[in-house]
Amino acid sequence: GQQVMQIPQYQHVQEGEDFTTYCNSSTTLSNIQWYKQRPGGHPVFLIQLVKSGEVKKQKRLTFQFGEAKKNSSLHITATQTTDVGTYFCALPHAGNMLTFGGGTRLMVKP
Amino acid sequence: SQTIHQWPATLVQPVGSPLSLECTVEGTSNPNLYWYRQAAGRGLQLLFYSVGIGQISSEVPQNLSASRPQDRQFILGSKKLLLSDSGFYLCAWSPTDRVEQYFGPGTRLTVT
Residue A52: the pLDDT is 96
Comparing alpha-carbon positions, the chain A residue that sits nearest to B45 is A100
pLDDT tens for A52-92 read: 999 999 999 999 999 999 999 999 999 999 999 999 999 98
Phi and psi, residue B76, nearest 5°: -110, 135
What lies within 8 Å, CB to CB, of A40 at 6+ separation is none
Measure B34 CA to nearest chain A CA, in Å. Answer: 9
Measure B15 CA to nearest chain A CA, in Å. Answer: 24
**Rounded-to-integer distance, Cα B107 and Cα B8, Å:** 6
Kindly determine whether residue A96 and residue B49, on different chains, have CB atoms separated by under 8 Å.
yes
**Rounded-to-integer distance, Cα A2 and Cα A4, Å:** 7
Cβ atoms of B64 and B85 within 8 Å: the answer is yes
Residue from B107, B21, B110, B95 nearest B64 by CA: B21
Query: For residue B98, what pLDDT band results from cuts at 50, 70 and 90?
Result: confident
Kindly determine whether residue A98 and residue B101, on different chains, have CB atoms separated by under 8 Å.
yes
Mean predicted confidence (pLDDT) in B78-106: 95
> Percent of chain B at pLDDT above 70?
99
Which residues lie across from A24 on neighbouring strands? A5, A71
Kindly determine whether residue B49 and residue A98, on different chains, have CB atoms separated by under 8 Å.
no
**pLDDT mean across residues, chain A:** 95
Residue A1: the pLDDT is 63
Which residues in chain A touch residue B100, judged by CB atoms under 8 angstroms apart? 33, 45, 48
Please count the residue pairs, one from chain A and one from chain B, whose beta carbons lie less than 8 angstroms apart.
46
The vertex-A74 CA angle with B43 and A31, nearest 5°, equals 75
**Rounded-to-integer distance, Cα A14 and Cα A85, Å:** 14
Q: Is B100 on the interface with A (CB under 8 A)?
A: yes
pLDDT of residue A9 exceeding 90, the answer is yes
Looking at residue A41, its amino acid is G
Which residues in chain A touch residue B5, judged by CB atoms under 8 angstroms apart? none
Kindly determine whether residue B102 and residue A45, on different chains, have CB atoms separated by under 8 Å.
yes
Residue B72: the pLDDT is 96
Kindly determine whether residue A45 and residue B100, on different chains, have CB atoms separated by under 8 Å.
yes
**Rounded-to-integer distance, Cα A107 and Cα B69, Å:** 41
3-state SS, one letter per residue, for chain B? CCEEEEECCEEEECCCCCEEEEEEEECCCCCEEEEEEECCCCCEEEEEEEEECCEEEECCCCCEEEEEEECCEEEEEECCCCHHHCEEEEEEEECCCCCCCEECCCEEEEEC
- Mutating which of A32, A96, A99, A104 best tests the B interface, going by the most B Cβ atoms within 10 A? A96
Mean predicted confidence (pLDDT) in A43-54: 97
Phi and psi, residue B52, nearest 5°: -175, 170
